[in-house]
Structure 1
Amino acid sequence: MLTVNRTRPTTGAGRISRVETLSLGTAWRDFSYVRITTDEGLVGVGEITHPYRGRETSALAEAMGERHLLGADPFDTEEIWHRMYQGDFLRGGDVGGIVVSGVDQALHDIQGRYLGVPVYRLVGGACRDTVPVYANGWYTGPREPDAFARRAVETVAAGYPALKFDPFGAGSGELSRDERRLSVDIVAAVREAVGPDVELFIEGHARFVVHEAVRLLDAVAPYDIGWFEEPLPWTHIDRYAELRARTSIPISGGEHFHNRYEYRRLFETNAVSIVQPDLSMVGGYTEMRKVAALAELHSMVVAPHNSNSPFCTTATAHAAFATPNLKILETFDGLLEPYVFEALRGCLPVTDGHLPLPTAPGIGVDLVDEVFAEHPPTGGFWNMFAPGWEKRERR
């Protein structure tokens, strides 16, 4: 097994001396983090949130800390990434992929803090002055066209000129005629309510068979949809290109892939037009840059997925600033309780649908332990295949 090299000279940042995890409970989901400290007193944070397996990611992060991180130089990101992936025999997968991602974020955070520069300076510099974002999670409430339309108007008024939503309820495979009609009516109502200048993205949650996906793409085409996300399960990745050939709506996806190796089939099959790596799943900054470069090679743009906390929004913004082929970044920040922002001190604010250029060293966010202690994790579960899930009723 690969081992830590404790004899190689290090920078003044020192060697990793402590790896710990913290979790915060919210009504949306439990947010989890890994915090890494060096013997020189530098601290870096990364997000290891899993929608349902926060205890598992936390346990693995702490175990990986003992096996691969203690005594390591936090600047050796490529070696540490390789050590965790190969040395732990991960071979992909959600829990391991998330842990590697969070550790990689924390290492870059330490590096930026030591050097006194924001992380985007370490991963390519700035390609733009601001990063555009879109809102998700805004459509809590009844699955009715009027209710969706009202919430859409409120969200746009709050400063989000782009929205994503899933109008399909608990449907999967095929929809009944009534369900298909209701879903399309929701899309039509949102478009009419917000007008022609707001970007709309449709979420499919990877659950339709091919002929149903074709029907839905045809049905929503009149409403000027910016993309249709994950219309098919990824077990049918070879058929994504078939859908792309049958519609003018861009197809997007990729959030569930955890490294460049898992992304290989997506690129080989030209499955999508818009690639959606998640910084807290794809392998952190180290792997995000490689996936974005491969996307550029295949004439694809990048719209990072982010259904996690404001920490991940800020952390991903650093990668987004440095990505030449960026399209837009996702955020759920408008859905969250005020104490979340107290627990995550220093998150970038969303203003008029954009995130500003970071100025703080590292990622720029500190965890406030006292707030975490006041809001412990709850272990909630969202069942997207149960009627009413979009109301965010905890189950």
Structure 2
Amino acid sequence: MLTVNRTRPAGPAGRITRVETLMLGTSWRDFGYVRVHTDEGLTGIGEITHPYRVREVCALTEALAQRHLIGADPFDIEELWLRVYQGDFLRGGDMGGVALSGLDQAMYDLMGKALGVPAYRLTGGACRDEVRVYANGWYTGEREPETFAAKAKETVAKGFTALKFDPFGPGLHELERAELRRSVDLVAAVREAIGPDADLFIEGHARFAMPTAARLVRELEPFDIGWFEEPMPWTHIERYAELRQRAAFPISGGEHFHNRYEYKPLFATNAVDIIQPDLSMAGGFTEVRKLAAIADTHGMLVAPHNSNSPLCTTVSVHATLGIPNFKILETFDGLLEDYVFDALKGTLPIVDGHIGLPTAPGLGVELVDEVFEEHPPSHRFWNMFADGWEKRNRT
């Protein structure tokens, strides 16, 4: 089972002949992509963006493809997923999770193109007519209540009915008293600016020890937040359930896990109310559907993480259309330069905080090589533990 089977007749997409990777530089981070070719003249694409190690993931993706995918039928998706994961001894981890996710996306793109249907038709169809999204990355100015309030108002005026931000600045484990007051003041200002009808989600970036997380749960209660995301490091996963008991709002998390096996302790301890798998980190369509099903057995909702490019946004829409316990999807699309959308021709637009049903075969997106050539990767490092990280400057 873990070797390429060339005896079965190939499906309508043919067999995989070549795999290549591309990188696109932006002022925020480098984006990575994979493109898979078949002998039927079809190409399928996927996103393989890693926050810091795009070059390394590109190299790994090409190596995985050479070892396990050349000559394979893209329609044998369960076997291909297992072949890459088990056959290459990946055993999870961030780089392997990203590479496998992008390859999985490309298989669904190929299958959809071969059949002439949008990818979501192959992943459960549609449970809804549109996907609600929330804005992230909107708070790039000075970390002052009036600045964040103004930017929050601008974001809601664009049609978003939900937004998320990290009010806490730099730091790890604890917050100084002045820093805690400033953070709470930021939340208060944003809530007042957007009014009571918009959803507000608070990001913790998995940074705080239990005493600080518990204090924040109390401090955030007056602001009617939709969730507190990853308040503690996952090295403290056994304490998440305890924190949930103290909170008057949902606790969310899971973006750092890359498959159902890494998710096991989260489910076993009922650590969160809402899981946040990333379509470009947690195994692609094939694995995220399984995670959503397991979450449903625990009474949990699904709100996919997506700090990637508009391609991952489009992929995530295809995936979430068929997830019954889906809540809302993250997007950073409003943070990006116009040329990013030129490089990714056909990504789905956001209209009034929602994305509609895709109609094009596969994912409906093509990579425009000329734009990639004009904007090479910068290989810079974005340090979220440094002062002023929310401005997303580079070092």
- Under a length normalisation based on structure 1, what TM-score does the superposition of the two structures give? 0.99
In structure 1, what is the equivalent of residue 103 of structure 2?
103
Q: Partner letter of residue 349 of structure 1?
A: P
Alpha-carbon distance, 1:13 to partner: 1.4
- In structure 1, the partner of 2:136 is 136
Give secondary structure in 2 for the equivalent of 1:330: strand
Residue 285 of structure 1 is matched in structure 2 by 285
2: CA distance, partners of 1:53 / 1:100: 15
Count residues in correspondence.
Answer: 395
Deviation at 1:2, TM superposition (A): 2.4
Q: Which residue of 1 aligns with 2:149?
A: 149
**For residues 227-263 of structure 1, what are the alpha-carbon distances to aligned partners after superposition, in whole Å with 9 as ceiling and x for unaligned?**
0000000001010000000111100000010000000
Distance in 2 (CA, whole Å) between partners of 1:268 and 1:247 is: 20
- Give the corresponding residue for 1:203: 203
Partner of 1:175: 175
1:242 is aligned to: 242
How far apart, in 2, do the equivalents of 1:339 and 1:391 lie? Answer: 20
Determine helix, strand or coil for the equivalent of 2:320: helix
Q: In structure 1, how many angstroms separate the alpha carbons of the residues matched to 2:12 and 2:291?
A: 31
Partner Cα distance (1:133, 1:110) in 2: 26
Report the aligned-residue RMSD.
Answer: 0.7
Indicate the SS of the match to 1:364: coil
Rounded to whole Å, the distance in 1 between the matches of 2:12 and 2:322 is 26
Q: Equivalent residue of 2:211, what SS?
A: helix
Gaps of 5+ in 1: none
Partner in structure 1 of residue 88 of structure 2: 88
Q: Distance in 2 between matches of 1:296 and 1:284?
A: 18
**How many angstroms does 1:12 deviate by?**
2.4
TM-score, length-scaled by structure 2:
0.99
User: How far 1:171 moved relative to its partner?
Assistant: 2.0
Instruction: Tell me by how many angstroms 1:97 deviates.
Output: 0.5
- State the SS of the aligned residue for 1:378: coil
Alpha-carbon separation, structure 2, partners of 1:358 and 1:366: 14
**What amino acid is aligned across from residue 368 of structure 1 in structure 2?**
V
- Is residue 2–residue 87 contact of structure 2 (8 Å, CA) maintained in 1? yes
Please give the secondary structure, in 1, of the residue aligned with 2:205: coil
* SS of corresponding position for 2:36: strand
Ranges of 4+ aligned residues in structure 1 off by more than 3 Å? none
Q: Which residue of 1 aligns with 2:308?
A: 308
Greater CA drift, 4-13 or 298-307: 4-13
Alignment match, 1:227: 227
Identity of aligned residues (%): 71
Looking at structure 1, the residues matched to 137 and 217 of structure 2 have their Cα atoms a distance apart, in angstroms, of 22
Give the aligned residue type for 2:130: T
**Residues 106-117 of structure 1: matches in 2 within 5 Å?**
106-117=106-117
Alignment of 1:314-329 (within 5 A): 314-329=314-329
Match of 1:391 in 2: 391
- TM-superposed CA distance for 1:88, in Å, is 0.7
Instruction: Give the distance between the partners of 1:352 and 1:68, measured in 2 at CA.
Output: 42
Distance 1:346 1:191 in 2: 34
Matched residue, 1:212? 212
Which blocks of at least 5 consecutive residues in structure 2 are unaligned? none
- Say which SS state the counterpart of residue 237 (structure 1) adopts: helix
